[in-house]
Amino acid sequence: FVVSMLAGLEQLLRYASDEQKQKWLPKLANGKELGAVCITEPFAGSDAANVLTTAEKDGDEWIINGKKRYITGAGVSDRYFIYAKTSEDPSNRKEYSHLTSFLVEKGTPGFSLERINPLIGFDNVPNGYLSFKDVRIPDKNRIGPVGKGWQVMMSGLNFERLIAGAVFVGVLKDIIRLLFHYTKHRIQFNRPTNRFQGNADQIAEIISMYRMGRLFTYYCAKEIDDGKEPMINSAITKKVISEYVREAGTKAIQIMGGDGLTKFYQAERLMREGKVGEIVAGTTDVQNLIIYRFSSMLPDYNKPMRMRWNEEVDAPIISDRESQFKGLDVNEENILKVIAHDYKVNPGLYMTIDEIREDIGTSRSKTRRIVEDLEEKGLVVIHRSRSGKIKLIKATYKGLQEAFPKEYYEWYPDWYADADKF
């Protein structure tokens, strides 16, 4: 349903012209035509931007050449929402402005089905390869501006991942219904198997997965209804709920024993389809990458949590107090003390240029010059980016010795015996 009835829906709603919407949306709404979304290629899987299928402009037409694979609904679909490369300019590739989206209709000359893949799951939905050989389509089949295919793709994927999550919420409910029915009717050791606490615990976990997944799916859907672009939450929805289904399917098989291994019951199929869910519409690994990368840009997650030494409790605590070094002369000796003091607080961590300059009160450029001088003397080590930019600084053992006497770094809990110190 997600990739057949709703294929390209969000992209059409956002980027299609009024004429295009009038042509395709009614067909989508009445269910008379099926659709397919075509991103993956032999050269482009998780690296979705590496599309090599090309579309070249020829007057009022586009000529498409290339291949697509792992296309759900291949062959049976009537319309195919594809992404093709329309620019070879490296700068456009760097800016993700090298792709354009099109709708190709079944029966267009040069457009053919190449093969069908037997997958681990989704047994009732054909999945296959498509071939494009000098396929000519009118410019009116282009969806969105030239070079905006990546943006069109992302809007569609956010929606698709949400809907995939919603589908798998329904699968979780099916697993719960199956297990309630089965364990009420299966007798072992003279009692129904739902009376065994181990089985009840496993089913309770699946119910928790279902209810949490359902709640988060509705939350993400509300964001889309509100016109937001839930990049992070759609990735979480798809990732977490597909993992839930695979895990719940495995639990269901275990609870059902030998019956769970047979194809007469749907437990094994639901487990297989959960695994498919961890691959399609972006693998779990890609979802993790999206979740981390975009979350790392959020201000709430980037509020400093620096540990500072608190003399009153004689221990490091999270604090926004002003540094004890603030206002000292800005020179190598005091900069080294700032860095060495951080070792006392955070023995395994490096400092940033900004943390050093804020602690003593100076400019970034002056701090940079001094730490480079300290590096030349072997008193600090500097971690640089690939471009050579200073990122993090830490005192060497030599630097620690020069900054403070060894007693400065010592710390023992009250209960530690003096006789054991050396």
DSSP string, 354-373: HHHHHHHT--HHHHHHHHHH
In CATH, the number for domain 153-299 is: 1.20.140.10
pLDDT in tens, 365-403: 999 999 999 999 999 999 999 999 999 999 999 999 999
Which is higher by pLDDT, 28 or 327? 327
* Interatomic CA distance for residues 101 and 38, integer angstroms: 10
Among residues 65, 83, 70, the alpha carbon closest in space to that of 116 is found at: 70
Of the chain, the percentage scoring pLDDT greater than 70 comes to 99
Q: Could you report how far apart the first and last alpha carbons of the chain are, in Å?
A: 71
Structure tokens at 408: 């400065």
Burial class (CB in 10 A: 0-12, 13-18, 19+), 131: middle
The domain defined by 307-420 folds into: Arc Repressor Mutant, subunit A (1.10.10)
* Interatomic CA distance for residues 308 and 320, integer angstroms: 8
Among residues 49, 32, 51, 26, the alpha carbon closest in space to that of 41 is found at: 51
pLDDT in tens, 262-296: 999 999 999 998 898 899 888 999 999 999 999 99
pLDDT in tens, 335-368: 999 999 999 999 999 999 999 999 999 999 999 9
Lowest mean pLDDT: which of 27-31, 204-208, 373-377? 27-31
104 has a pLDDT exceeding 90: yes
Q: Please, which residues have CB within 8 angstroms of residue 200's CB and are 6 or more apart in sequence?
A: 194
How far CA 385 is from CA of 86, 294, 367, in Å, comes to 33, 20, 17
Q: What does pTM read for this prediction?
A: 0.83
* Interatomic CA distance for residues 196 and 189, integer angstroms: 10
Among residues 24, 61, 32, 96, the alpha carbon closest in space to that of 83 is found at: 96
* Interatomic CA distance for residues 416 and 399, integer angstroms: 28
- Residues 401-405: contacts with CB under 8 Å, at least 24 apart: 402/336, 403/336, 403/337, 403/339, 403/340, 403/341, 404/337, 404/340, 404/341
1 has a pLDDT exceeding 70: no
Residue-averaged pLDDT of the chain: 94
Ranges of each domain in the chain: 9-145, 153-299, 307-420
Top-tier CATH class for 9-145: mainly beta
Strands (E), 276-416: 307-310, 315-318, 380-384, 390-395
DSSP H/E element including 406: none
pLDDT at site 122: 85
**Number of helices followed by number of strands (H, E) in the chain:** 13, 14
* Interatomic CA distance for residues 44 and 351, integer angstroms: 39
